[in-house]
A and B are shown apart, each in its own frame.
Chain A
Amino acid sequence: KAGVTQTPRYLIKTRGQQVTLSCSPISGHRSVSWYQQTPGQGLQFLFEYFSETQRNKGNFPGRFSGRQFSNSRSEMNVSTLELGDSALYLCASSFGPSASGANVLTFGAGSRLTVL
């Protein structure tokens, strides 16, 4: 059973550019959550999509957006990149909404974004 796949694994952008990250969840999983990890800040929740609908959104500016497709694949976009957006962006999938019942998140390896 394939795991959660994130592409690209590494990318370098410059300030002001925009970036799109992709996530393919485990087959059969309908929920996809996105997290930002920076040193000392742990896992900061960005948003969660379930059955193509945004279920929850974290405390991030509107430059951060996402969507989910009918096959459960998800993308997140960051526009007008800032230096502080440099981070590891993690995608996780679960069968049901991440916070319900005993659902456990399965994470991908992440996309490492560097903004110069």
Chain B
Amino acid sequence: DQQVKQNSPSLSVQEGRISILNCDYTNSMFDYFLWYKKYPAEGPTFLISISSIKDKNEDGRFTVFLNKSAKHLSLHIVPSQPGDSAVYFCAAKGGSGSARQLTFGSGTQLTVLP
């Protein structure tokens, strides 16, 4: 049972345009969400996060939006740059006590075309 889903395995965007990466979740207990970026031959690196008490968090060119009623998370990159080409994973935390877990999606390969 995939509780965190990234339904688009890949996305191509022109340099300078907006990249929108989407993530859906099924567990209403999730209360903290993160995005990680991964380049080939490297481990994922943390990008941005958002708590469920917010609906938007911004950090430079990166903005994460959370729609709790739709159980939907999105990452906007504006403007997109070729160096943003990487695999993006969304992740969610939820549950209580020892049952609290961190769950990753399957990733979306973003390619920014020059």
The chain A residues found within 8 Å of chain B, CB to CB, are 4, 33, 35, 40-43, 45, 55-56, 90, 92, 97-102, 104-110
- A contact patch SS: loop
Given contacts A99-B95, A102-B32, contact A90 B44 (CB under 8 A): yes
Distance, CA A99 to CA B91, complexed state (A): 10
Q: Pick the contact of B43 from A40, A55, A92, A102 — CB < 8 Å?
A: A92
B101 near A99 with CB under 8 A, answer yes
Chain B residue at minimum C-beta to C-beta distance from A107: B43
Give the total of B residues in contact with A, Cβ under 8 Å.
26
B102 at the binding interface (Cβ < 8 Å): yes
A107 near B45 with CB under 8 A, answer yes
Q: Which chain B positions have C-beta within 8 A of A108?
A: 43
A90 near B101 with CB under 8 A, answer no
Give the tally of cross-chain contacts (CB within 8 A). Answer: 59
Q: Pick the contact of B106 from A35, A42, A104 — CB < 8 Å?
A: A42
Q: What distance in Å separates the Cβ of A81 from its nearest Cβ neighbour in chain B? A: 22
Given contacts A99-B95, A105-B46, contact A45 B104 (CB under 8 A): yes
Q: What distance in Å separates the Cβ of B41 from its nearest Cβ neighbour in chain A? A: 7
**Told that A42-B6, A105-B46, A108-B43 touch, could you supply 5 new A-B pairs with CB distance under 8 A?**
A4-B43, A43-B107, A56-B101, A99-B101, A107-B43
A42 near B44 with CB under 8 A, answer no
Indicate with 1 or 0, residue by residue over B16-47, a CB within 8 angstroms of chain A CB atoms. Answer: 00000000000000001010100001111110
Chain A residue at minimum C-beta to C-beta distance from B101: A99
